[in-house]
Amino acid sequence: MFKAILFAALAPVVLGATFVVQLGLNNGLTFTPNTLVADIGDVITFIEFVLLPSRLLNSALPRSSVSRNHTSTTTNFDGAVCPPPDGGVGPNGWDSGFLSDLDGSLPSFNYTVVDTLPHFASCKQAAGAHCVAGMVFALNPTAEQTFEQFQTNAETNPIVTK
């Protein structure tokens, strides 16, 4: 009885969920998944995808410094979408900085969700070219601000030409 009460007192009241979002899976200009619904306290781990060493050696996939080097950075839903600005668009935005797997270090960035508002992110690489190519991610999108519309806004962004 005493042990049970002690354990309950020490246990966190709310344990957030953890989500993993892969950047550049199979060398695509993608976030996988590209949409998440998450609650306050949940953690999103953005991680640069790394092929297993055995597959890497045999892989014919290109290994340029940009195709395996991405960011997760919040930006505007519309208007100036690409490239996302350094530091990300806030409030409560984020910017992972460049996560390169060229050295096989499995770089990651953890974002703890602090509100349930929609947040839209893309990749800063190549002066916004990855963003315009549709490499985008939506956290808690809404009926008014959908993932699909955000991706269209990025792909038709007037600032960066493809």
Ligand X SMILES: *[C@@H]1O[C@H](CO)[C@@H](O)[C@H](O)[C@H]1NC(C)=O
Least CB distance to Cu ion at residue 114 (A): 25
Is residue 125 near Cu ion by the rule CB under 5 A?
Answer: yes
Is residue 100 near ligand X by the rule CB under 6 A?
Answer: yes
Point out which span in 94-102, 111-119, 136-144, 148-156 binds ligand X (CB under 6 A): 94-102
123 binding partner (options Cu ion, ligand X, none; Cβ < 5 to 8 Å by kind): Cu ion
CA separation for the pair 67, 61 (Å, rounded): 10
**Residue carrying the six token digits 């959908």:** 146
Q: Is 10 exposed, middle or buried (0-12, 13-18, 19+ CB in 10 A)?
A: exposed
Q: Which of 50, 51, 123, 154 binds Cu ion (CB under 5 A)?
A: 123
CA separation for the pair 138, 31 (Å, rounded): 9
Q: 131 with 84: CB under 8 angstroms?
A: yes
Is residue 70 near Cu ion by the rule CB under 5 A?
Answer: yes
Q: 74 with 120: CB under 8 angstroms?
A: yes
What are the structure tokens assigned to 103, written together?
Answer: 């050295």
- For ligand X, the closer of residues 67 and 145 by Cβ is 67
The whole-angstrom distance between residue 47's C-alpha and the CA centroid of its chain comes to 8
Q: Which of 45, 58, 59, 156 binds ligand X (CB under 6 A)?
A: 45
70 binding partner (options ligand X, Cu ion, none; Cβ < 5 to 8 Å by kind): Cu ion
Residues in contact with Cu ion by the rule CB under 5 A: 70, 123, 125, 130
Residues in contact with ligand X by the rule CB under 6 A: 45, 65-66, 69, 98, 100, 102, 108-110, 125
